[in-house]
Structure 1
């Protein structure tokens, strides 16, 4: 029987929690501008940019390779500044049966704490954990934070 695994990261940002959360909730189409060395394109396939059920296709670079990810927003909790995404397909699903990502943003002093959680089920025991996304998300969050502080 397959086991759902979980990985968590926490990154401090200088932007306010509301501003950072709003960016992930309503401005994902700007990610290629905010972090162009990582995210090369985001296309809206269904719905709108900031609603539950919307579907996006991401093109990004992971460890020097071009990768795609098709995802949907499963839940938005404005009160707790949390978004739950479900990965539907793409190159990134080669080794996984399921994959959910959760972003939670908490105010911390003048800045915020961004928590990223990945829940995934491997297709087999040889499939890698999602450790390769640690640097990706850390860099993405820092790039988004830098963009928000300048604009």
Structure 2
């Protein structure tokens, strides 16, 4: 089960299929917001992180419904400053995101891009891990909706990657 927290000015509910505990807070500027999601996975934190740190070009093999391909545009896969091009499918539409790696911390299983940050931690007192995603955004126009639709996307993508990692053990 995923845990979700969003921050934004409006108190819109998240997608019903996430079945997650949600806490909404307000911010002074409704054009800016944040989303946090934690997804319980069975794979180890190290294995999940390794997929994004060392083999992001394999992510599309693990979750082809969500990621169509990942290309290194500039730099090296696990180096700060590198630029990665993500081809993904969101709400049934192909989209492209070009993002710069801002931080990598293998000890914390952390990878931070300019827009999206992810880390994986082992569960306390049990097997498996929690994949956590943090997204900060600024809408370019009042007509653009807050991106709550990314919550089920990140949850489903994480679970598919988890299943892939477990099937290759």
Q: Same fold (TM over 0.5)?
A: yes
1:144 shift after superposition = 0.6
Q: TM-score, normalised by structure 2?
A: 0.77
Q: CA deviation at 1:23?
A: 1.3
Structure 1: segments with no counterpart, 5+ residues: 87-99
In 1, distance between residues paired with 2:101 and 2:146?
A: 22
- Name the structure with the higher strand share: 1
TM-aligned CA deviation for residue 129 of structure 1: 1.2
1:108-147 superposed matches below 5 A: 108=123, 109-147=126-164
Q: Is the 8 A contact 1:29 1:49 kept in 2?
A: no
Contact conserved, 2:84 with 2:99, CA < 8 A, in 1? Answer: yes
4+ residue segments displaced more than 6 Å: none
Q: Tell me whether 1:15 sits opposite 2:34 in the alignment.
A: no
The answer for the alignment partner of 1:30 in structure 2 is 58
Structure 1, residues 63-111: CA drift from partner, whole Å, max 9, x if none?
A: 010100001110012222211101xxxxxxxxxxxxx211011101210
Alignment root-mean-square deviation, CA:
1.5
What is the aligned partner in structure 2 of residue 73 from structure 1?
101
1:104 matches 2:132: no
Equivalent-residue separation in structure 1 for 2:112 and 2:130 (angstroms):
17
Secondary structure at 1:7 match in 2: strand
CA distance in 2, matches of 1:50, 1:82: 11
Report the structure number with the largest CA radius of gyration.
2
Gaps of 5+ in 2: 1-27
Higher relative contact order (CA 8 A, sep 6+): 1
Q: Secondary structure at the match of 1:131?
A: coil
Q: TM-score, normalised by structure 1?
A: 0.85
**Post-superposition offset of 1:32:** 1.2
Q: How many residues align?
A: 138
Partner of residue 5, structure 2 = none
Q: Distance in 1 between matches of 2:78 and 2:161?
A: 17
Distance 1:122 1:143 in 2: 29
